[in-house]
Amino acid sequence: MRLDLALPGRLDRRTGGTIYDRRIVLGLRRFGWQVAVHEMAGTYPFADDAARAAAAGILGRCGSPLLVDGLALPAFDLAARPPGCRIIALVHHPLAEETGLSPADAARLRRAERADLARVDGIIVTSPFTARALRDGYGVPADRLRAVPPGVDPVPPRAPDARPGPVRLLSVAAFVPRKGHRELFAALAPLAGEPWRMTCIGALDRDPALVADLRRQLVDAGLAGRVELAGEVGDAALAAAYGAADVFVHPAHYEGYGMALSEALRAGLPIVAVAGGAVPETVPADAGLLVPPGDVAALAAALRRIVGDPAARCALTRAAAGHGAALPDWDVAARQFADAVGAFAP
């Protein structure tokens, strides 16, 4: 079968959504699908002229079905698609849920996405949580939705016993407001006397002003020598970072799924996370400590507990490893995705 995929920017970017797109493309190709990838120029989700021109060009030579990453969907004039061109939206999370939007911009995105989702032939989402959000908040009928959660890669088993030395905390997320680094560093400040070190992996170029503020925040709190902002890393270095860590920390305000969380579970890491969006459904209750969004004091208390209580940390580690071992791999995800495409474009 043939599939066209339209997405904003390059397929090799290291964002959660793009990694999902890339792994699904690779899986479909392994199963014999012909997948053409259209990497779109322009800015998103508020599409500029370059984005709209890219979308018009893709529609003009539309293969069917055409899968459009939800971030790129606002650039498409869906009323102008050629006859017979079936379009499927791939929604990682509703665009209006991005942190930092003004109320007017959030309302604008919500109206536009609601209208666009009513015009496509089907919608694939990355979690049952997002399927419910679109059904309940955007009026999408359940029969036009399919949830295909991400897969995970196999990793060597890890021992649950506490290791000597400082507790090694790991975060994997791009430095943008929604990912909650500001609140994380505020929560770490009262723990200066505890034995821990932290590595934050993720793109540093998405919001340079935010990164500059975060570096000043670390200096002011006396944490600059204990928190490493490592930037993006390759697959091997990322796998090594998961293997070297003791605890995974995810302070994001909202996630439509949270691929880094399932990767942490697969690596057998206990999790401290903010319970925003789909996070409570991604992190089993016995594998992590979840705190309310915006509650820095609760985040600090959870970090203090997991750093200071080796027995509790080991129990969470054992549970995380058990849940992680049961997660499906990317071949399973790709087969589910193929079935979803087939349901909307028979």
- Sign, CA torsion 118/176/301/229: positive
Tokens of 242: 């998961």
Domains of the chain: 2-151+328-344 (3.40.50.2000), 167-325 (3.40.50.2000)
Q: Within 10 A of 126 (CB to CB), how many other CB atoms are there? A: 28
For the chain, report the end-to-end CA distance as a whole number of angstroms.
10
Distances (CA, A) of 30 to 10, 16, 104, 118, 146: 21, 21, 44, 32, 22
Q: Within 10 A of 254 (CB to CB), how many other CB atoms are there? A: 19
Alpha helix (H) ranges present in the chain?
Answer: 16-30, 49-60, 103-119, 128-138, 181-188, 208-220, 235-244, 259-266, 279-282, 296-308, 310-325, 330-344
* Coil, helix or strand at residue 15: coil
Q: Closest by alpha carbon to 5, among 80, 76, 63?
A: 63
Q: Which residues contact 150 (CB under 8 A, 6 or more apart)?
A: 20, 23, 126, 257, 259, 262, 330, 333
Supply the pLDDT for residue 157.
66
What are the pLDDT digits (tens) for 191-212?
Answer: 999 999 999 999 999 999 999 9
15: confidence class by pLDDT, cuts 50, 70, 90: confident
What are the pLDDT digits (tens) for 37-63?
Answer: 999 999 999 999 999 999 999 998 876
The whole-angstrom separation of Cα 298 and Cα 154 is 33
Q: What percent of the chain has pLDDT over 70?
A: 98
Report if pTM > 0.85. yes
Q: What is the rounded average pLDDT for all residues in the chain? A: 94
Q: What is the mean pLDDT of residues 266-293?
A: 96
The whole-angstrom separation of Cα 86 and Cα 344 is 8
Whether the per-residue pLDDT at 186 is higher than 90: the answer is yes
159: confidence class by pLDDT, cuts 50, 70, 90: low
